Amino acid sequence: MVFVLNRDKTPLAPCHEAVARKLLKQGKAVVHRIYPFTIRLKEQKDTSTFKPNYRLKIDYGSRHTGISILKNNKEVVSMMQLHHRTDVKENMDRRRAFRRSRRSRKTRYRKPRFLNRQINEDWLPPTLLSRIRNIETWVRRLCKLCPITAISYENVKFDTQLLRNPEISGIEYQQGTLQGYEVREYLLEKFDRKCVYCGATNVPLEIEHVIPKSRGGTDRIDNLVIACHECNQRKGNKTAEEFGYPEIQKLVKESLKDCAIVNTTRWRIYEALKQTDLPVECGSGALTKMNRIKLGLPKGHHFDAVCVGYSTPDRIWFKTRTVLHVIAKGRGTRQIANVDKSGFPRGYRKRRKLFYGFQTGDMIKAFVSEGKYKGIWKGTVACRESGYFDIKNKAGKRIAQGISYKYCKVIQRFDGYCYDLEQIEIKGIFPLQPVEVGASMCR
């Protein structure tokens, strides 16, 4: 299905791709946007009798968020999967390390500024705020492309203690692993006051991380062991398995970081959805799973989004076989100086992003008439001040280098996201044929 805009850019009902192709060939419409594909009519259409009924459904996850649009609560006209950024904390840690190293070297002194900023009560770390902003952005964009009249949102809550111990109940929720102990005393008693690597006793023992914090490890108690100073130094930045002790690595339980992210941000997303002034329906994870099993749909964020909320019917029509993957990339960096691995400057960026009407990340189409790269090239552009650009494919690999800006034409401006299309196979049904209730019709 293709999104359709009126001449004044108000959203109309999505149409089939064959209808959109016909309108474009007849010159009655123009391409407004490539991802998601949208056309705009050249003549104003009367919408006085148009009564839209489109519901936006969101299946929120810490890494991926599924989004779907249903017409009359039974026809799936669009499916998306939003990939959130996972490199925010890594980039901030790298920047903090560079600033600390500058203060210790004989360079211009820069005072720490982490204590002179006032933090609001509703403050969230940038890693979590990024996920909320991604969902806000796409809800706002889809409301401009499709006449959304209602929203369904999976407001799921995870019991992290129950995930660790399925038999927990009552007062045990208030009694953690360290009840009656301090961290060091607990570890000494747990490992019989000996080094877990060499077995040394009667020597000074240190608290050591099985998965180092620099590798994503945490201070959670199951990630801590007792080791002597020599083993701690020799292990360095390795995990216990890389150090030759896979049995110690097995002590570390699966991280609940993703569950904590969802628990922390779920109500902030709900508040952001309420700001759209549309009715918001909340559904639980168990309800989504029940609806998905009833409809016979496979596990996937875009399919889960179809099944969110009590408004999910017993029969579903699929009018699309395509899933649009939206990958959040950010809009670049404010860092002027390029640095090496040690933090020393090795070059400086220009103070402008626009070169000859192009910006790095724009989707372009290049018609090269001569030279080594003669032909037609499509991809994202990496701009240079010289006017000779590089073209990259979806995987980020250079497919053409040194292409003059005169050969390039913008298809879609860079908006902080990358896009990819996936064709899904739905066993036993076609876009206009209903899914049978209780039958496993999809694969």
Q: How sure is the predictor about 22, in pLDDT bands with cuts at 50, 70 and 90?
A: very high
Whole-angstrom distance, CA of residue 190 vs CA of residue 187: 5
- Number of neighbours of residue 413 by Cβ within 10 angstroms: 11
- Number of neighbours of residue 249 by Cβ within 10 angstroms: 14
Looking at the fold, whether 60 and 9 belong to one and the same domain comes out as no
Q: Is this prediction's pTM over 0.85?
A: no
Looking at the fold, whether 239 and 152 belong to one and the same domain comes out as no
Tokens describing residue 406:
């005169």
| Alpha helices (H) along 8-54 | 17-25
Looking at the fold, whether 268 and 204 belong to one and the same domain comes out as no
- Looking at residue 179, what is its pLDDT? 59
- Number of neighbours of residue 398 by Cβ within 10 angstroms: 11
Of the spans 41-50, 64-73, 119-128, 238-247, which averages the highest pLDDT?
A: 64-73
What range does the domain containing 67 cover?
54-87+125-159+258-329
Q: What angle do CA 111, 92, 252 make, to 5 degrees?
A: 125
pLDDT, tens digit, 9 for 90 and up, residues 31-60: 999 999 999 999 999 888 888 899 999 999
Q: Average pLDDT for residues 348-364, to the nearest whole number?
A: 87
* Residue ending a domain, choose from 210, 231, 249: 249
- For residue 114, being part of any structural domain is answered with no
pLDDT, tens digit, 9 for 90 and up, residues 226-266: 999 999 999 988 988 898 888 888 888 777 788 888 888 99
- The enclosing domain of 359 has a CATH number of 2.30.30
Residues 6+ apart with CB under 8 A from 305: 57, 58, 59, 66, 67, 68, 79, 154
- Looking at residue 141, what is its pLDDT? 94
- For residue 221, being part of any structural domain is answered with yes
Q: Average pLDDT for residues 210-239, to the nearest whole number?
A: 87
Q: Is 348 buried (19+), middle (13-18) or exposed (0-12) by CB count in 10 A?
A: exposed
* Residue ending a domain, choose from 220, 249, 278: 249
Looking at the fold, whether 64 and 152 belong to one and the same domain comes out as yes
**Count of domains forming the chain:** 4
- Looking at residue 85, what is its pLDDT? 92
Looking at the fold, whether 69 and 187 belong to one and the same domain comes out as no
Q: What angle do CA 410, 322, 57 make, to 5 degrees?
A: 100
* Residue ending a domain, choose from 249, 267, 301: 249
pLDDT at residue 436 is higher than 60: no
- For residue 101, being part of any structural domain is answered with no
Looking at the fold, whether 322 and 356 belong to one and the same domain comes out as no
- For residue 365, being part of any structural domain is answered with yes
For the chain, give the percent of residues with pLDDT over 90.
Answer: 44
- For residue 405, being part of any structural domain is answered with yes
Q: Average pLDDT for residues 142-153, to the nearest whole number?
A: 94
Q: Average pLDDT for residues 149-158, to the nearest whole number?
A: 89
- Are 363 and 410 spatial neighbours (Cβ–Cβ below 8 Å)? yes
pLDDT at residue 80 is higher than 80: yes
Looking at the fold, whether 410 and 325 belong to one and the same domain comes out as no
- For residue 433, being part of any structural domain is answered with no
Q: Is 333 buried (19+), middle (13-18) or exposed (0-12) by CB count in 10 A?
A: exposed
- Looking at residue 429, what is its pLDDT? 44
- Looking at residue 431, what is its pLDDT? 40
- The enclosing domain of 227 has a CATH number of 1.10.30
Looking at the fold, whether 73 and 147 belong to one and the same domain comes out as yes
pLDDT at residue 157 is higher than 50: yes
Whole-angstrom distance, CA of residue 366 vs CA of residue 33: 18
Looking at the fold, whether 263 and 402 belong to one and the same domain comes out as no
Least confident range from 18-32, 381-395, 414-428: namely 414-428
Looking at the fold, whether 203 and 266 belong to one and the same domain comes out as no
- Number of neighbours of residue 72 by Cβ within 10 angstroms: 11
- Are 327 and 340 spatial neighbours (Cβ–Cβ below 8 Å)? no
Taken in order 373, 378, 384, 385, is the CA torsion positive or negative?
A: positive
Looking at the fold, whether 14 and 80 belong to one and the same domain comes out as no
